[in-house]
Amino acid sequence: MCTTTIEMVSYRLKAGVSIEDLRATHGAVNDFCLAQPGFLYRSVSQDEHQTWFDVVYWKTMDDAKAAGESFMQSNIGQVLVNLIDNTTMQMRHMLADAEAYPQMLAIYTNHGTNQTQQL
């Protein structure tokens, strides 16, 4: 059984908030995640309906929940929350049913460092 936990947050930006405003938070949010116990991977994407998806992989559910509580208390957490239309935000935590984690580590050689990969 996998313990890897996937955290998926979907949201739209508040009226008047630009994509550049959101992108300006990515570095600090990545740094926050990299400093959290159990952090594995994060990606941010947008679909054709202007809904954003922030997907974070954690070693365990406890890691995910502890990081979430810390994030909401952090400065960068407050900055990001202030950009989001909270009526559109949905957060989900789910356990991975299957994963190919060792292969991912071979691809992302900077895993576990303070470096973030720009795609």
What pLDDT, in 10s, does the model give residues 21-58?
999 999 999 999 999 999 999 999 999 999 999 999 99
What is the DSSP-derived secondary structure letter of residue 85? -
| Residue-wise DSSP of 2-38 | ---EEEEEEE-BPTT--HHHHHHHHHHHHHHHHTSTT
What pLDDT, in 10s, does the model give residues 67-107?
999 999 999 999 999 999 999 999 999 999 988 766 566 65
Pairing mode of beta strands 52-58, 39-46: antiparallel
pTM here is 0.82
